[in-house]
Amino acid sequence: MEQEKAYFAAGCFWGVEHLFKKVTGVIETTVGYCGGKTEVPTYEQVLTGDTGHKETVEVVYDPKKVAYSELVKIFFEIHDFTQRDGQGPDKGDQYLSVVFVQDDKEREIVNSHIEYLKTKGYDVVTQVKDFEKFWPAEDYHQDYYSRTMQVPYCHYRRNVKWEI
């Protein structure tokens, strides 16, 4: 089975992971941290907002079953990409909307989706950053909603009619 990885930050990683796990073609997910300056960051360090890391989900997927462009669409459907200070009630730099791209092809796909949303009148604040390193979060954060039998409090999948 072919596998690729994608990296999405869209607020609290628990809800983002919960929704990506439901996507056909997604093999596994891991919550963690991307984009910061601290080596091997802890949740407590990231929570301060001083490390530069974003709560991020690593999505391992089978590109024969789900395309990267489809994952990008889902990313935009499951959070408020217009919120500048976090997601829902979660405020701070660590909760910002970011796609960490691994190459020019991914960058082009993400940017085309952003441009499309802008033509629909949205003020998209999602950042597109180069992927450098992913640090898995502590075990107690992995599969949080599956383990606790709770539901996400600020993430849900919206039905969006994409023409892209």
* Whether 12 is catalytic: yes
Tokens of 20: 């990506």
Q: Which long-range contacts (CB under 8 A, 24 or more apart) does 40-43 make?
A: 40/135, 41/135, 42/138, 43/137, 43/138, 43/141
Catalytic choice (9, 10, 12, 72): 12
Q: Which of 77, 79, 62 is nearest to 6 (CA)?
A: 62
Alpha-carbon gap, residue 15 to 99, rounded angstroms: 16
Helix (H, G, I), strand (E, B) or coil at 155: coil
> What residues are labeled active site?
12
